[in-house]
């Protein structure tokens, strides 16, 4: 017993370190050696009661006085208690004389006493008194964890101590000689076939614990030995000691199942967490049963800061969207004429042209519910989630009708069906089928309009685009020069600048051919960032020019120092491009040429492409010659070639193949057009024979050779001009258009370089933003629109024209970049 108590005291002393010495001393005083088991048992019971009271008080002290290293778990406790203690001391000091006289009322004394005990009550009452913890205690999670951990550990060690105290292990010899031979055994219990509990007869007194036990090797051996012992004692078989077999749960059995319980708990926790991550995005609830719910969000118009006045450069598409909103607000305007609102519209076009921006403006302007969802949110890791979310989304739309439902990036779920059906592909098809069923099942009078946006309309399923689902396909192209000017006006308005913004927007529109709305927003933001970097008080034209160069050619790398030989090669390469383009009729006007490394290139030439949609054979050929100017210049002046012309040769090869294979501009191949293999696509078979392929290769090679010879003749003719431009580049590194005029004189061909030149002959200098007559008050509800019965149309009014048809698809352009051209060089 002394060994057991010492072991328990040692374990508890490690746990309750602040009163370790006191605990060990008490154990030594209570259990001196030697000591009998009976005395130890009675003394231990008495002392454990005292220890529980002492443990309670020590826990209170431990929680009030935070030990070193645990301050972060008990934030702002010591400071509050110090303030309360100081406040109590001051009150008692100031009222010391009066406290004795007012002992009966003690109003001043009672308040500080309660305050000083607040922190102790929130611990002690919760443990021993059964009172609920205070609100401050309920909020402190780390404190509860520490307290429960200490109490649980103390209870566990105490249970082990009580178990050891109430049971005494003996041997078979002791059992046989001291108990069995003396007739003190009432019965024996074989527990779990591993040990035997000895139950003594009533009235039998022993000095040891009331419960005795001993281990056995096997049940058969124990029964044989017990029977032999009773035979030796001449006991009649009818008076044999009863043997009871039973099973009990042990601590070792609990420890055996702890790993399994931990693994099960970890599995349940991970499943719950993964379900919450999937189920709570964009929904009111989560959990494993919330995965099947739709992630569609009901947008509040007050939370959207985009209006139709913030959308520019796509007036035709904006009018189409306004018409949808006008129908939901004023349906009788169309129903009186027998018109039906289109069930849906598909916004298509290149990236960055404003498709999602139009949807945001619709959500901000329309006074009807606007539901938004992304196409990628339908497909998750669980099978059947996609169709279930589609059903839930359309149920939400029907509930809030009239409303607008917007599906962004619908190509994630609307891809063409067919092909190899793997697991994810089959789930995508099921989701698409459910979407088709929901859209086709709409009632016309439900006043729900479905809008969708994608820049990959070519991969969408045909059944999704048929009339009755998406009746209209609204193409949002890259803006023309008028549209770019309007977009610049929108993005220039928040910038601090002393420039004439209408004038500067026109100038910038002329300098940014091929830019989309996203590119223009990036240019304006980069200009403001560059102005802030230079500590300028406002944004000036110089900052916009640097921003355009940053967006087109990349960041300027001043630390990338070229060797003198490489720098000279780059200078003559760019001079060849500049001179060849200067003296070719159909080449684009040159704006700037530089040999400062930017992005991946070691130099670049900036041109101003013309706004045109149709290209002739002569125009494409002149562009090829201008592109080959750098390679020809290296060969003429250094009698060697470098890897710097790799990007130029790639563009020339693509243009030559497009003329021969795609545009039918070759006499031998004839007026035939074949699909060109796109980069990254795998073509298993060519749409033409091997003989035709050989002819195509020969004609492409002949076309490129002809362009190379013509460029070589041109640069030999203007050899001195190339030298002058190259030497000026080596000296100043950057040449502008004015420098080129000084070195080469006026260009021998008429060119367009200003906004007025580009818009000449188009009818107006600004973008046409006039609304149709029926949309003049598109965002206002007209009187009588809430009536469910259509009115008779007035006789004097003229019927409004039908909605405009979708714009025709754009004419396919040759493979030339409308954006400002640039030349990149690959280092050796």
pLDDT by residue (tens digit) across 105-140?
Answer: 433 333 444 444 444 444 333 333 444 444 444 445
Sheet holding 185-191, edge to edge: 167-169, 211-215, 195-200, 185-191, 243-246
Chain CA centroid to CA 691, Å: 52
Residue 386 pLDDT: 80
8 Å CB contact between 578 and 737: no
Residue 657 pLDDT: 94
Cβ neighbour number for residue 484 with a 10 Å cutoff: 30
377 catalytically annotated: no
Chain CA centroid to CA 765, Å: 43
Residue 131 pLDDT: 42
Measured distance CA(39)–CA(43) in Å, rounded: 6
Pull the structure tokens for residue 696: 């195509």
- Listed as ranges, residues in the chain with pLDDT below 70 are 1-146, 149, 153, 156-166, 205-210, 249-255, 274-295, 381-382, 419-425, 441-446, 678-684, 753-765, 777-828
Q: Who contacts 747 (Cβ-Cβ below 8 Å, separation ≥6)? A: 582, 583, 589
CA distance readout (Å), 671 to 655, 656, 664, 679, 688: 17, 15, 4, 25, 14
Phi then psi for residue 754, to 5 deg, are -115, 165
Q: Who contacts 615 (Cβ-Cβ below 8 Å, separation ≥6)? A: 813, 814, 816
Measured distance CA(267)–CA(436) in Å, rounded: 38
Measured distance CA(489)–CA(38) in Å, rounded: 98
Partners of 378 in beta bridges? none
8 Å CB contact between 627 and 651: yes
DSSP state of 412: G
Marked catalytic residue, from 315, 574, 634, 767: 574
| Burial class (CB within 10 angstroms; exposed 0-12, middle 13-18, buried 19+) of 717 | exposed
CA distance readout (Å), 85 to 76, 81, 124, 584, 746: 14, 6, 19, 93, 92
Residue 35 pLDDT: 45
Residue with tokens 């699909």: 675
What's the farthest any 2 CA atoms get from each other in the chain? 139
pLDDT in tens, 182-200: 888 888 999 888 888 888 8
Whether this prediction's pTM lies above 0.75 is answered by: no
Measured distance CA(65)–CA(597) in Å, rounded: 66
8 Å CB contact between 635 and 647: no
Residue 118 pLDDT: 41
């Amino acid at each position: 017993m002394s060994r057991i108590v010492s072991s328990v005291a040692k374990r508890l002393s490690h746990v309750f370190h602040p009163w370790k010495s006191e605990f060990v001393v008490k154990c030594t005083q209570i259990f001196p050696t030697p000591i009998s088991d009976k005395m130890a048992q009675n003394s231990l019971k008495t002392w454990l009661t005292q220890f529980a009271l002492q443990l309670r008080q020590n826990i209170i002290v431990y929680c009030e006085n935070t030990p070193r290293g645990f301050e972060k778990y008990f934030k702002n406790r010591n400071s509050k208690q110090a303030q309360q203690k100081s406040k109590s001391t001051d009150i008692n000091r100031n009222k010391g004389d009066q406290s004795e006289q007012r002992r009966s009322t003690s109003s001043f004394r009672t308040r500080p006493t309660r305050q000083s005990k607040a922190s102790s009550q929130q611990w002690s009452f919760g443990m021993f008194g059964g009172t609920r913890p205070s609100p401050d205690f309920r909020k402190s999670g780390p404190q509860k964890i520490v307290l429960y951990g200490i109490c649980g550990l103390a209870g566990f060690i105490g249970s082990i101590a009580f178990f050891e105290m109430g049971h005494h292990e003996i041997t078979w010899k002791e059992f046989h000689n001291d108990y069995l031979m003396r007739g003190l055994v009432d019965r024996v219990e074989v527990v779990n076939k591993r040990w035997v509990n000895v139950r003594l007869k009533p009235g039998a007194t022993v000095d040891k614990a009331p419960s005795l036990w001993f281990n056995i090797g096997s049940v058969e051996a124990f029964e044989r030995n017990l029977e032999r012992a009773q035979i030796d004692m001449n006991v009649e078989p009818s008076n044999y000691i009863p043997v009871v077999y039973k099973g009990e749960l042990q601590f070792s059995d609990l420890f055996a199942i702890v790993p399994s319980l931990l693994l099960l708990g970890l599995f349940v926790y991970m499943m719950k967490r993964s379900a919450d991550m999937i189920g709570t995005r964009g929904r009111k609830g989560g959990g494993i049963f919330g995965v099947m719910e739709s992630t569609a969000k009901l947008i509040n118009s007050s939370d959207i800061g985009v209006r139709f006045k913030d959308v520019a450069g796509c007036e035709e598409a904006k009018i189409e969207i306004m018409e949808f909103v006008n129908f939901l607000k004023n349906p009788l305007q169309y129903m009186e004429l027998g018109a039906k609102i289109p069930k849906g519209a598909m916004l298509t076009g290149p990236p960055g042209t404003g498709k999602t921006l139009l949807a945001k403006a619709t959500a901000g302007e329309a006074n009807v519910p606007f539901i938004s969802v992304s196409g990628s949110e339908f497909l998750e890791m669980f099978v059947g989630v996609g169709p279930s979310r589609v059903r839930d989304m359309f149920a939400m739309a029907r509930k809030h009708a009239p409303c607008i439902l917007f599906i962004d990036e619908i190509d994630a779920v609307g891809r063409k069906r067919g092909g190899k059906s793997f697991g994810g592909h089959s789930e995508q098809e099921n989701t698409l089928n459910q979407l088709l069923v929901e859209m086709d099942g709409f009632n016309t009078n439900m006043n729900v309009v479905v809008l969708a946006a994608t820049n990959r309309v070519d991969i969408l399923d045909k059944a999704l685009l048929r009339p009755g689902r998406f009746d209209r396909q609204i193409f949002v192209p890259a803006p023309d020069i008028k549209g770019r000017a309007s977009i610049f006006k929108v993005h220039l308005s928040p910038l601090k600048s002393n420039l004439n913004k209408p004038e500067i927007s026109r100038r910038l529109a002329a300098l940014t051919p091929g830019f989309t709305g996203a590119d223009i927003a990036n240019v304006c933001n980069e200009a403001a960032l560059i102005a802030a970097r230079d500590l300028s008080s406002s944004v000036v034209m110089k900052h916009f020019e640097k921003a355009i160069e940053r967006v087109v050619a990349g960041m300027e790398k001043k630390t990338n120092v070229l060797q003198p030989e490489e720098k000279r090669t780059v200078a003559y390469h760019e001079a060849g491009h500049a001179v060849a383009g200067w003296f070719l009729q159909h080449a684009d006007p040159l704006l700037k040429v530089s040999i400062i490394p930017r992005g991946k290139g070691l130099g670049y030439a900036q041109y101003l492409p013309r706004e045109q949609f149709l290209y002739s054979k002569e125009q494409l050929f002149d562009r090829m010659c201008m592109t080959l100017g750098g390679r020809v210049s290296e060969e003429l002046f250094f009698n060697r070639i470098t890897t710097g012309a790799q990007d130029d040769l790639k563009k020339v090869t693509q243009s030559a193949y497009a003329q021969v294979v795609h545009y039918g501009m070759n006499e031998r191949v004839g007026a035939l057009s074949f699909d060109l293999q796109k980069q990254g696509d795998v073509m298993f078979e060519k749409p033409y024979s091997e003989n035709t392929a050989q002819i195509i290769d020969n004609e492409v090679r002949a076309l490129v050779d002809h362009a190379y010879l013509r460029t070589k003749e041109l640069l030999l003719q203007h050899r001195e001009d190339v030298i002058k431009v190259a030497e000026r580049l080596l000296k100043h590194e950057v040449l502008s258009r004015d420098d080129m005029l000084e070195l080469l004189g006026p260009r021998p061909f008429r060119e367009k370089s200003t906004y007025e030149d580009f818009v000449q002959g188009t009818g107006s200098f600004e973008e046409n933003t006039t609304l149709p007559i029926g949309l003049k008050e598109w965002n206002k509800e007209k009187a009588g629109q809430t009536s469910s019965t259509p009115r008779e149309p007035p006789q004097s009014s003229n019927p409004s024209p039908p909605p405009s048809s979708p714009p025709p698809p754009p004419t396919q352009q040759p493979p030339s970049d409308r954006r400002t051209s640039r030349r990149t060089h690959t280092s050796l």
